[in-house]
């Protein structure tokens, strides 16, 4: 029994859907496409204005990585709207137009598939997918490389339930709050003393796991001064919720004076 | 039509002999496939930790891996045992009860020898769990192999017992065949473990 | 055979299990000394399972084989399938696939109730910042219990009840391929439940359901209960999977060719069960190694001994990602099975749907490391895994084409099961689309480990897969119980669930985007608004489930009697009488047509089955 019977026809071909005894209604496709276009435009307008409707939807985007993430989130959402609307509008239109109150013993037309439509659907989703992969790879290459400029290395150590930050280029200054100079590339080298943690600064859009016995790395380029939060993003036991540290992005001058003061404290304490 | 329907009825109800055998074969192979994945994960563990621990952490001082020869011996015993089992299985398909019992007896005996040797080896390694990642990976693989051997002895004992009661014959030997799949798979794993020693 | 009514039932199983557990645990402790307490707990739980199964009579047949006793007679087999016929057979080792289906259904519903209760407690803790309803250790255990119960519950929720009850009838078989293994798979699953519920009394487990090592290495003995639970559950999944797949391959009635096989059998029985059978051993291996770390002092996951947390991550996600398709594919299959019935139209693109389902299964084993983009393991592989992950959206998208193509120009009959099918189309689109952000590595760097991920997988697993379960439940309940569910209550259940679900998890997307990590007990004030909304939504959702529970109990006890084919469907299970007789069919049916030939020019009046002449 072939599923593609002779009566099979694409919904895209309105005349073909008219099986025996079904009145042709050739304008459904046009109407639903118009509704789809309107819904897509409205949907995209909503997405583009979402940050106005929901203030604080995203954390303050305070690094070049975060700006890329911010853009990608919006861009993907805009891309998703027409696809989602395709499913929802076609389904909603079908329900609104062809629903029956109760079972009457009548069947719909025997459309059991449309090779053209199925191929088109698969090919276009493959193309969309290919585009997303290429876009993602480009972005990934971008964030995996060190940003230009003089690199500052910070060693981050997670332990139950706090973060420690060490500045190896500054004589091993170690603190529990993180200070970073603005507009300078940072290399975080992250590890853990006990269990898995995950070092996350939402405002900088960076995250890397802290794995015992391993050193993992991530780059960031803070672009906006301010006070933010670093959080643990991997369940690490009893006080996981409270494993947070303050992160301050300071001006170049502010950072030098802060680290100078730390060096003096550290020098005394360590001496 | 009537004949076709009758054949169909038998097939659907799983009553036909061939249908019954096919069912048992597929079910057994699926369960073995599941065990293959489990073992593959243990091998993955061994190789992953091997790759991760380049220097002394793989073999800390005092941990001496068993010789390659002992791995080959374990593999060889089981391959011989599986071959003997296969010989027995092919025998009963032609109705040779004597060959079935002889082959089974030899196969089972070789597995018992293997089990004793593996247990002796595990208790005379000179290292135990916690002596580095080689020790741990080796012990878990050998330990699971011992579990396999116990299973094979149980199944082999069952087949031998049933054979002595004359429960098998030409066309009635599916049980022998099914246990054979387990047997061959366990032998294959022993071979793979012997090869692992070369890594 | 069993002469007394109480023998080989839970009445003998439970005491034998408890006694075996105590003996095994005390012996281990006596031999191994105080350092063997974790080992004693593990071995005790395994002993419980063996003792229980022994008490249930599960080993009688193996013993018969082993001792070369005479094979069971047809009468004994019959006795094992009937077990007296009354309700008591649900508490015994009963081989009738319809009994096993009902057993799975009830156990699944109980699991959902417990897991749902845990969800309510989580949302209670998160209602306001600073609210401490529970001590942190208790809270973490609740999070873990919610996770593992819901994952286990959703894995069995469709293939367990409907795969067992419906699939054999759908393909024209008299029972499953291996009726004894069928009973074994259920009772093995049953043994896992009390083990898991012991965990809170053994100090709980702090790891969530992912049980990441090395946190799991240092966890209290509750972790031992968790890992034995996984081993028992994995054993049950393997046995059930092998049985269902073998049934679908070998037990089809004459004429039930692969291209006439109902899509539900393809999805739930063939592909999802194979996948479950093949991937769960990875989780079991991960748990065995964890158990050895905890009991024998090995260091598979302990960095100081040369082990690695990344090893755990790999083993876990080798199972973890395919496993979400073990949950989702049966739901896809239910959606595609029900759409033709309630659109009164053939399934649109049947062969493409089958091919896509198979492609999803194939690809699903190649995507595991997308859960590890931020672990720092093999960053050079992030690109390839992004590729495979995004590729899997192609066959998944086909499900939507099939759905919309089937709806188009149909005569859409909005029954309660159909409403749930349609809600799947809404929810799963959101779940799938939000997955794109997580598949893209740079955005995943931001979103991973946040409540955004939690919301995303609840949209797929709850909004998608669980809605598929509800659809299946309302659809097949009349066949399974002989009663119709109350339709008004069903509609209330549907609308409240759908609205409250979306409120809860849209709010969770919001706080996730804001930067709130998942699995926290407390949070800063900036996340207060979203969490409050999510909690209120969750409580309303909980209330909707009470309506559902009331509907089940009242309808099952005294609902309207169900006709044999209330939905006028064409698959075989609707062509047999309700209640379904013991061996389903008087005469083996001969299949002459496709089950979805609605609106066919010359439809078969009485459905797909034609009785063979006697
Ligand atoms: Cu942490």
Phi/psi for C296 (5° steps) reads -105, -5
Using CA atoms, how far apart are residues B75 and B194, in angstroms rounded to an integer? 6
Instruction: Using an 8 Å CB-CB cutoff, list chain C residues near B32.
Output: none
Nearest to B27 among C177, C279, C588 (CB): C177
Q: What's the average model confidence in pLDDT over A70-90?
A: 93
Q: What percent of chain C has pLDDT over 90?
A: 75
pLDDT of C604 strictly over 50: no
What residues does A164 pair with on adjacent strands?
Answer: A157
Cβ of C386 within 8 Å of Cβ of A80? The answer is: no
Residue C610: pLDDT band by 50, 70, 90 thresholds?
very low
pLDDT of residue C607: 41
CA C512, chain centre distance (Å):
27
Rg, chain A, Cα only = 28
pLDDT of C488 strictly over 90: yes
Residue A1: pLDDT band by 50, 70, 90 thresholds?
very low
Which tens digits make up the pLDDT trace of C218-253? 899 999 999 999 999 999 999 999 999 999 999 999
Indicate the average pLDDT of chain C. 91
Contacts with A, C 371-390, CB within 8 Å: 374-376, 379, 382-383, 386-387, 390
Instruction: Using an 8 Å CB-CB cutoff, list chain C residues near A194.
Output: 214, 218
Task: Identify the residue among B33, B51, B129, B152 best suited for mutation to test binding to C, counting C beta carbons within 10 A and taking the highest.
Answer: B129
Confirm or reject contact between C35 and chain B (CB < 8 A). Answer: no
Which stretches of C414-557 are assigned E, i.e. beta strand?
none
* From A113-117, B3-7, C148-152, C259-263, the region with the lowest mean pLDDT: B3-7
pLDDT of residue A265: 80
Strand pairing of A178-181 and A244-250?
Answer: parallel
CA distance C276 to chain B (A): 9
Half-sphere exposure of B115 (CA within 13 A, CB side): 16
Cβ of C446 within 8 Å of Cβ of A69? The answer is: yes
Sheet of strand A162-167: strand arrangement: A173-175, A162-167, A152-159, A186-192, A216-220
Using CA atoms, how far apart are residues B70 and B142, in angstroms rounded to an integer? 12
Q: What percent of chain B has pLDDT over 90?
A: 65
Burial of C555 from C-beta contacts in 10 A (0-12 / 13-18 / 19+):
buried
What residues does A247 pair with on adjacent strands?
Answer: A178, A228
Closest CA to A54 of C612, B69, C509, B37: C509
Distances (CA, A) of B30 to B37, B121, B150, C161, C246: 11, 32, 20, 21, 8
Which tens digits make up the pLDDT trace of B64-87? 888 888 889 999 999 999 999 999
Task: Identify the residue among C347, C384, C417, C599 best suited for mutation to test binding to A, counting A beta carbons within 10 A and taking the highest.
Answer: C599
Instruction: Using an 8 Å CB-CB cutoff, list chain C residues near B182.
Output: none
Using CA atoms, how far apart are residues C554 and B74, in angstroms rounded to an integer? 63
CB B14 within 8 A of CB C251: yes
Q: What is the DSSP string of A37-59?
A: HHHHHHHHHHHHTHHHHSTTSS-
Closest CA to C212 of C146, C155, C283: C283
Phi/psi for C235 (5° steps) reads -60, -45
pLDDT of residue C600: 63
pLDDT of residue A98: 92
CB C224 within 8 A of CB C211: no
pLDDT of residue C601: 57
Helices (H), chain B: 2-13, 17-52, 68-93, 97-123, 133-164, 174-196
Using CA atoms, how far apart are residues C584 and C176, in angstroms rounded to an integer? 11
Q: Give this prediction's pTM.
A: 0.92
Phi/psi for A157 (5° steps) reads -120, 125
Q: Which residues fall inside 5 Å of ion ligand 1, going by CB?
A: A 197, 232, 236, 243
Residue B153: pLDDT band by 50, 70, 90 thresholds?
very high
Using CA atoms, how far apart are residues B77 and B85, in angstroms rounded to an integer? 12
Confirm or reject contact between C429 and chain A (CB < 8 A). Answer: yes
If you measure from the C-alpha of residue A192 to the centroid of ligand 1, how many angstroms do you get, rounded to a whole number? 9
| CATH-assigned architecture of domain A152-267 | Sandwich (2.60)
CB C195 within 8 A of CB C25: no
Indicate the average pLDDT of chain A. 86
Highest average pLDDT, of A34-38, B168-172, C438-442, comes from A34-38
Q: Which tops the pLDDT comparison, B130 or C534?
A: C534
Nearest to A1 among C260, C407, C510 (CB): C260
| CB proximity list for C72: less than 8 A, separation 6 or greater | C61, C64, C80
Instruction: Using an 8 Å CB-CB cutoff, list chain C residues near A74.
Output: none
Q: What's the average model confidence in pLDDT over C365-393?
A: 88
pLDDT of C603 strictly over 80: no
Cβ of A107 within 8 Å of Cβ of C344? The answer is: yes
Neighbours of chain C (3+ CB pairs under 8 A): A, B
pLDDT of B12 strictly over 50: no
- Quote ipTM for the complex: 0.93
Residue A57: pLDDT band by 50, 70, 90 thresholds?
confident
pLDDT of residue B5: 39
Instruction: Using an 8 Å CB-CB cutoff, list chain A residues near C487.
Output: none
Helix (H, G, I), strand (E, B) or coil at C116: helix
Helix (H, G, I), strand (E, B) or coil at C175: coil
Task: Identify the residue among C125, C349, C605 best suited for mutation to test binding to A, counting A beta carbons within 10 A and taking the highest.
Answer: C349
pLDDT of B111 strictly over 60: yes
pLDDT of B59 strictly over 60: yes
Q: Name the strand (E) or helix (H) holding C228.
A: helix C222-250
pLDDT of A7 strictly over 50: no
| CATH-assigned architecture of domain C94-611 | Up-down Bundle (1.20)
| CB proximity list for A200: less than 8 A, separation 6 or greater | A206, A207, A230, A231, A232, A233, C449, C515, C517
Q: What's the average model confidence in pLDDT over B35-39?
A: 95
If you measure from the C-alpha of residue A157 to the centroid of ligand 1, how many angstroms do you get, rounded to a whole number? 10
pLDDT of B100 strictly over 60: yes
pLDDT of A271 strictly over 50: no
Q: What is the DSSP string of B102-136?
A: HHHHHHHHHHHHHHHHHHHHHHTSS--TTS-HHHH
pLDDT of C294 strictly over 70: yes
What residues does C485 pair with on adjacent strands?
Answer: none
Q: What's the average model confidence in pLDDT over C389-408?
A: 93
Which tens digits make up the pLDDT trace of C428-485? 999 999 998 998 888 898 999 999 999 999 999 999 999 999 999 999 999 999 999 9
Using CA atoms, how far apart are residues B14 and B24, in angstroms rounded to an integer? 10
pLDDT of C609 strictly over 50: no
Phi/psi for C39 (5° steps) reads -60, -40
CA B24, chain centre distance (Å):
18
Closest CA to C1 of C95, C99, C78: C78
Using CA atoms, how far apart are residues B143 and C599, in angstroms rounded to an integer? 61
pLDDT of C368 strictly over 80: yes
Q: What's the average model confidence in pLDDT over C567-578?
A: 92
Task: Identify the residue among C181, C246, C251, C276 best suited for mutation to test binding to B, counting B beta carbons within 10 A and taking the highest.
Answer: C246
CB B44 within 8 A of CB B52: no
Using CA atoms, how far apart are residues A239 and C560, in angstroms rounded to an integer? 53
pLDDT of B6 strictly over 90: no
CA distance B45 to chain C (A): 7
* Dihedral-angle region of residue C130 (phi above 0 means left; psi in -120 to 50 means alpha; beta otherwise): left
Which stretches of C89-185 are assigned E, i.e. beta strand?
none
Cβ of B8 within 8 Å of Cβ of C241? The answer is: no
Cβ of A211 within 8 Å of Cβ of C599? The answer is: no
pLDDT of residue A8: 38
Residue B10: pLDDT band by 50, 70, 90 thresholds?
very low
Using CA atoms, how far apart are residues B174 and B21, in angstroms rounded to an integer? 6
Using CA atoms, how far apart are residues A172 and A165, in angstroms rounded to an integer? 9
pLDDT of residue B15: 60
Indicate the average pLDDT of chain B. 88
Cβ of A242 within 8 Å of Cβ of C522? The answer is: yes
pLDDT of A3 strictly over 80: no
Phi/psi for A56 (5° steps) reads 75, 20
pLDDT of C544 strictly over 50: yes
Distances (CA, A) of B113 to B68, B146, B196, C463: 18, 12, 22, 56
pLDDT of residue C77: 86
Nearest to C278 among B19, B37, B140 (CB): B37
The structural domains of chain C, with segments of one domain joined by +, span 11-64, 94-611
Contacts with C, A 222-251, CB within 8 Å: 229, 231-242
Which tens digits make up the pLDDT trace of C305-351? 888 999 999 999 999 889 999 999 999 999 999 999 999 999 999 99
pLDDT of B42 strictly over 50: yes
Residue C215: pLDDT band by 50, 70, 90 thresholds?
very high
pLDDT of residue C412: 93
Closest CA to C91 of C158, C7, C155, C24: C7
Eight-class DSSP state of A212: B
Nearest to C379 among A100, A114, A144 (CB): A144
| CB proximity list for C473: less than 8 A, separation 6 or greater | C105, C417
Q: Mind listing the domains of chain B with CATH numbers? A: 37-54+65-196 (1.20.120.80)
Confirm or reject contact between C455 and chain A (CB < 8 A). Answer: no
Using CA atoms, how far apart are residues A129 and A123, in angstroms rounded to an integer? 10
pLDDT of A160 strictly over 80: yes
Cβ of A68 within 8 Å of Cβ of C450? The answer is: no
């Amino acid at each position: 029994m072939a599923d593609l019977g002779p009566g099979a026809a694409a919904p895209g071909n309105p005349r073909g859907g008219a099986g025996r005894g079904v009145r042709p209604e050739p304008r459904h496709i046009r109407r639903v496409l118009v509704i789809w276009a309107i819904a897509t435009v409205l949907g995209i307008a909503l997405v583009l204005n979402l940050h106005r409707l929901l203030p604080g939807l995203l954390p303050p985007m305070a690094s070049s990585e975060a700006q890329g993430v911010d853009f990608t989130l919006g861009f993907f959402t805009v891309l998703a709207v027409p696809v989602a609307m395709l499913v929802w509008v076609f389904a909603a239109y079908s329900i609104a137009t062809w629903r029956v109150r109760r079972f009457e013993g009548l069947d719909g037309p025997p459309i059991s598939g449309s090779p053209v439509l199925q191929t088109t659907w698969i090919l276009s989703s493959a193309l969309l997918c290919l585009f997303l992969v290429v876009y993602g790879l480009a972005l990934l290459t971008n964030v995996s490389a060190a940003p230009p400029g003089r690199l500052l290395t910070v060693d981050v150590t997670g332990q139950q339930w706090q973060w420690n930050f060490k500045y190896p280029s500054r004589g091993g200054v170690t603190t529990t709050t993180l200070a970073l100079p603005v507009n300078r590339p940072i290399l975080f080298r992250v590890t853990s003393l006990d269990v898995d943690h995950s070092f996350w600064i939402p405002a900088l859009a960076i995250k890397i796991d802290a794995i015992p016995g391993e050193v993992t790395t991530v780059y960031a380029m803070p672009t906006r001064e301010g006070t933010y939060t670093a959080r643990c993003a991997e369940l690490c036991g009893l006080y996981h919720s409270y494993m947070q540290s303050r992160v301050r992005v300071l001006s170049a001058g502010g950072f030098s004076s802060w680290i100078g003061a730390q060096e003096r404290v550290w020098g005394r304490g360590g001496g | 039509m009537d004949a076709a329907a009758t054949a169909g009825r038998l097939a659907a109800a799983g009553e036909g002999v061939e249908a019954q055998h096919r069912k048992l074969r597929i079910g057994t192979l699926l369960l073995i496939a599941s065990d293959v994945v489990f073992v593959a994960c243990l091998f993955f563990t061994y190789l992953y930790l091997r790759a991760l621990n380049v220097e002394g952490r793989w073999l800390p001082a005092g941990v001496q891996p068993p010789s390659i020869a002992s791995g080959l011996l374990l593999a060889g015993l089981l391959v011989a045992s599986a071959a003997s089992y296969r010989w027995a299985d092919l025998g009963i398909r032609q109705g040779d009860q004597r060959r079935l019992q002889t082959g089974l007896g030899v196969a089972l005996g070789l597995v018992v020898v293997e089990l004793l040797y593996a247990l002796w080896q595990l208790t005379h390694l000179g290292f135990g769990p916690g002596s580095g990642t080689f020790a741990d990976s080796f012990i878990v693989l050998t330990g699971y192999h011992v579990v396999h051997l116990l299973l094979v002895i149980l199944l082999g004992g069952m087949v031998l017992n049933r054979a002595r009661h004359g429960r098998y014959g030409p066309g009635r030997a599916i049980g022998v065949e099914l246990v054979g799949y387990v047997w061959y798979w366990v032998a294959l794993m022993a071979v793979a473990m012997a090869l692992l020693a070369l890594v | 055979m069993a002469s007394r009514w109480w023998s080989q039932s839970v009445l003998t199983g439970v005491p034998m299990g408890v006694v075996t557990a105590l003996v095994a645990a005390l012996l281990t402790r006596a031999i191994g000394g105080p350092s063997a307490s974790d080992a004693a707990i593990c071995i005790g739980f395994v002993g419980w399972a063996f003792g229980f199964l022994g008490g249930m009579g599960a080993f009688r047949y193996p013993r018969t084989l082993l001792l070369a006793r005479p094979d069971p007679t047809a009468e004994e087999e019959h006795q094992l399938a009937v077990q007296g016929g009354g309700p008591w057979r649900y508490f015994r080792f009963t081989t009738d696939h319809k009994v096993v289906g009902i057993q799975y259904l009830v156990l699944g519903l109980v699991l959902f109730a417990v897991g749902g209760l845990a969800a309510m407690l989580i949302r209670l803790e998160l209602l306001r910042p600073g609210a401490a309803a529970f001590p942190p250790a208790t809270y973490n255990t609740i999070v873990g219990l919610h996770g593992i119960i819901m994952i286990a519950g959703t894995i069995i929720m469709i293939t367990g009840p409907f795969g067992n009850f419906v699939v054999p009838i759908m393909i024209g078989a008299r029972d499953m391929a291996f009726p004894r293994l069928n009973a074994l798979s259920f009772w093995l699953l049953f043994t896992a439940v009390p083990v898991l519920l012991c965990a809170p009394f053994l100090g709980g487990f702090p790891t969530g359901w992912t049980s990441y090592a090395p946190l799991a290495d240092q966890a209290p003995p509750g972790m031992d209960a968790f890992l034995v639970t996984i081993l028992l559950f994995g054993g049950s999944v393997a046995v059930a999977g092998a049985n269902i797949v073998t049934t679908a391959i070998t037990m089809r009635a004459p004429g039930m060719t692969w291209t006439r096989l109902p899509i539900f059998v393809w999805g739930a029985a063939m592909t999802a069960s194979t996948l479950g059978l093949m991937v769960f051993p990875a989780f079991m291996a991960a748990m065995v190694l964890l158990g050895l770390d905890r009991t024998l002092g090995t260091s598979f996951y302990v960095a100081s001994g040369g082990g690695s947390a990344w090893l755990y991550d790999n083993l876990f996600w080798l199972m973890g990602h395919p496993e979400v398709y073990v949950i989702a594919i049966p739901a896809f299959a239910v959606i595609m099975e029900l759409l033709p019935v309630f659109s009164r139209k053939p399934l649109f693109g049947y062969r493409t749907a089958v091919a896509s389902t198979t492609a999803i299964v194939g690809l699903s084993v190649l995507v595991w490391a997308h859960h590890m983009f931020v672990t720092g393991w093999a960053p050079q592989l992030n690109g390839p895994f992004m590729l495979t992950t995004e590729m899997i959206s192609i066959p998944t998208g086909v499900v939507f084409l099939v759905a919309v193509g089937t709806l188009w120009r149909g005569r859409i009959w909005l029954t309660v099961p159909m409403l749930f099918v349609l809600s799947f189309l809404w929810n799963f689109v959101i779940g799938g689309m939000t997955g794109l952000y997580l598949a893209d590595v740079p955005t995943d760097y931001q979103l991973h480990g946040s409540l955004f991920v939690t919301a995303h997988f609840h949209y797929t697993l709850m909004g998608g897969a669980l809605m598929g379960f509800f659809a299946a439940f309302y659809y097949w309940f009349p066949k399974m119980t002989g009663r119709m569910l109350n339709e008004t209550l069903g509609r209330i259940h549907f609308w409240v669930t759908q609205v409250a679900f979306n409120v809860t998890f849209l709010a969770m997307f919001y706080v996730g985007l804001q930067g709130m990590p998942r699995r926290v007990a407390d949070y800063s004030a900036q996340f207060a608004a979203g969490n409050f909304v999510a909690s209120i939504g969750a409580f309303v959702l909980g209330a909707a489930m009470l309506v559902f529970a009331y509907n089940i109990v009242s309808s099952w006890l005294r609902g309207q009697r169900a006709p044999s084919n209330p939905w006028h469907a064409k698959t075989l299970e609707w062509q047999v009488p309700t209640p379904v007789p013991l061996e389903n069919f008087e005469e083996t049916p001969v299949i002459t047509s496709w089950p979805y030939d609605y609106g066919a020019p010359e439809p078969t009046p009485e459905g797909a089955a034609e009785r063979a002449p006697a």
